[in-house]
Every structure is written in structure tokens, then in C-alpha cells.
Amino acid sequence: MTVEPLLRDLIDKFNVKADNDEALRSELEGMDKKVLIDLGSEVYNFHLHDGKAHDFKEGRLEDADLTLLSDPETFQGIIEGKIKPMKAFALRKVRVKGDISDVLKLRKLF
């Protein structure tokens, strides 16, 4: 099984939350970031702008603003709530390349 259906569902839920949560919309206002999720055997990307995640697709981005590096099992565990994102980060099961303030805003996705 790939992580793609879980990620699509996560992004859909995030976008619904962004529609209904004024505080989240305010926090994301003005953000325009290309995000790469590199899980080794699976690679996805999306564009975060206008307060939502757009254009989710499989594949690499050469000009990503934020890159999340992990493996499919860890990422699936985070999405399913079996692994806490900060614990995975502390154990170096998830690595992030990019501006830390953007990373902190993106945590709302999880």
C-alpha cells in the first residue's frame, strides 16, 4: 500500500479546516510555498497558497521551499496518529529542510 490515499485524505481535511477555521486562515495568510514530501520509494508535492494545499501530485520538485524527508511506514504512522510528529522528528525519522517558521505553520496539516 502507498501513502498517497492517506495524504490525499489529509490534504482534503486540511482544506476543509482552512475553509472553516478563521484562525488557521489568518495564520496561513500570505504563505506561498512549494512542499516536497520525499519518502524514498514515494515522492509527492503540493503547493500551499491562498490558505490551502493545491495541486497535490506524485513526483519531485526541484524548487521546493519545504522538504519533508521520511519513510512510508513512519509517515503513515504519523497520519494515522500512531506516531507523534515531534517524536518522529526527535528520533530523526522525519527530517525537514526549509524555514522553521514555515515548518511550524505546516504542522497544522498533521
Q: What is the pLDDT at residue 110?
A: 60
What are the backbone dihedrals phi and psi of residue 53, each rounded to the nearest 5 degrees, phi first? Answer: -90, 120
* Strand, helix or coil for residue 51: coil
Residue type for position 32? D
Interhelix angle 72-79/4-20, rounded to 10 degrees, is: 40
pLDDT digits (tens, 9 = 90+) for 77-108: 999 999 998 899 899 999 989 987 777 766 66
pLDDT digits (tens, 9 = 90+) for 25-58: 888 888 899 999 999 999 999 999 998 999 999 9
* CATH pick for 4-109 out of 3.30.1050.10, 1.20.120.1200, 3.40.50.300, 3.50.50.60: 3.30.1050.10
Q: In the chain, where are the structural domains located? A: 4-109
Q: Quick one: which of 78, 69, 3, 83 has its CA closest to 40? A: 69
C-alpha distance across the termini of the chain, in Å:
20
The pTM of the full predicted model, rounded to 2 decimals, is 0.88
Arithmetic mean of pLDDT, 3-7: 95
